[in-house]
């Protein structure tokens, strides 16, 4: 792991303005998310960040929605485009896995369109039993 990156699971350390801007303006999955929805999502999640050790600037964000006993969903994984290639994604995923591991969860899930290789490094597999999974889309949302 790069020593110039600092992982944090402290929700108070997150740069909420920066994270909201990333997700609402730059992500493909949360484009247009309101600040209110963003803050509600953060309040109901375990929040994770990776920060530059020297400047303290937040370089990446993710959150996990979990019952703390059986299941977690990792969401909103985002690395600042200017920091890509520095190992931020690997550092945040290592921190999340370390944080969730003691819970003894039966399943941890996530959705990605383009980062399968990253998540496979941390034990995530592509679904082999997709026939078992179901999804209900909320009003106003449609599959891409």
In angstroms, rounded to a whole number, what is the distance separating the alpha carbons of residues 72 and 60?
19
- The answer to whether position 140 is within a domain reads no
List the structure tokens of 35.
Answer: 């600040």
- The answer to whether position 36 is within a domain reads yes
- The answer to whether position 89 is within a domain reads yes
Domain boundaries, position 119? 5-124
Average pLDDT on 134-144 reads 73
- The answer to whether position 137 is within a domain reads no
The whole-number pLDDT of residue 136 equals 75
- The answer to whether position 139 is within a domain reads no
Instruction: Tell if the pTM clears 0.85, that is, is over it.
Output: yes
- The sheet carrying 71-79 orders its strands as 5-8, 46-52, 58-66, 71-79, 107-110
Q: How many domains does one find in the chain?
A: 1
- The answer to whether position 15 is within a domain reads yes
Residue partners of 9: CB distance under 8 A and separation at least 6: 46, 47, 48, 95, 99
- The answer to whether position 144 is within a domain reads no
CATH code, domain carrying 44: 3.40.630.30
- The answer to whether position 11 is within a domain reads yes
Residue 35 pLDDT greater than 80, yes or no? yes
For residue 1, name the pLDDT band (cuts at 50, 70, 90): low
Render pLDDT for 73-124 as a digit per residue (tens, 0 to 9). 999 999 999 999 999 999 999 999 999 999 999 999 998 888 888 989 998 8
Higher pLDDT, 80 or 136: 80
């Amino acid at each position: 792991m790069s020593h110039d990156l600092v992982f944090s699971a402290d929700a108070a350390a997150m740069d909420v303005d920066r994270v909201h801007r990333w997700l609402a303006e730059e992500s493909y999955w949360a484009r247009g998310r309101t600040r209110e929805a963003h803050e509600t999502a953060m309040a109901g999640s375990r929040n994770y960040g990776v920060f530059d050790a020297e400047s303290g600037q937040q370089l990446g964000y993710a959150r996990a929605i979990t019952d703390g006993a059986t299941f977690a969903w990792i969401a909103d994984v985002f690395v600042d485009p200017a920091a890509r290639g520095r190992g931020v994604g690997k550092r945040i995923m290592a921190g999340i896995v370390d944080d969730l591991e003691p819970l003894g969860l039966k399943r941890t899930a996530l959705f990605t369109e383009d980062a399968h290789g990253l998540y496979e490094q941390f034990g995530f597999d592509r679904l082999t039993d997709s026939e078992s999974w179901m999804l209900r889309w909320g009003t106003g949302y449609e599959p891409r």
